[in-house]
């Protein structure tokens, strides 16, 4: 079975503080998984990296065999986002928030692909 998510040696540092430390994760197509951990464990940062909102400090991320570092646009076409509640991302400017929501609203459906 092929991998939908493949992460190896993922690291993210903010101002010298390591928030994701050497994460390895594999999720096969069709597999369901929960991403659990205490506050401050790096869950949100990891999800932000997987959705291309944050760049990793190091490591490799593959989404459906697409290398995030080489083709972030291709990676974006492989996932959908369902927000728990509508909110602004405080790490982004107002213009960046508007662009993000516009892109999410105009992304292709599950059976469509961008050309």
Q: What is the pLDDT of residues 28-75, one digit of tens each?
A: 998 888 888 898 899 989 999 998 989 999 999 999 999 999 999 899
- Provide the CATH number for the domain formed by 3-77 in this structure: 3.40.50.300
Q: What pTM value is reported for the model?
A: 0.70
One DSSP character per residue, 82-115 reads --SS----TTS-HHHHHHHHHHHHTS--TT----
Q: Give the DSSP letter string of 41-72.
A: SSHHHHHHHHTTSS--SEEEEEETTEETTT-H
Give residue limits of the domains in the chain: 3-77
In the chain, what percentage of residues exceed pLDDT 70? Answer: 83
* Between residues 113 and 47, the one the model is more confident about: 47
């Amino acid at each position: 079975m092929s991998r939908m998510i493949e992460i190896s040696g993922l690291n993210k540092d903010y101002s010298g503080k390591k928030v994701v430390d050497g994460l390895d994760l594999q999720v096969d197509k069709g597999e369901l998984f929960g991403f659990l951990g205490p506050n401050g464990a790096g869950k949100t940062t990891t999800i932000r990296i997987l959705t291309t909102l944050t760049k990793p400090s190091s490591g490799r991320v593959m989404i459906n065999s697409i290398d995030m570092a080489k083709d972030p646009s291709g990676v974006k076409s492989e996932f959908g986002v369902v927000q728990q509640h509508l909110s602004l991302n405080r790490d982004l400017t107002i213009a960046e928030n508007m662009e993000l929501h516009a892109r999410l609203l105009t992304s292709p459906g599950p059976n469509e692909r961008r050309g």
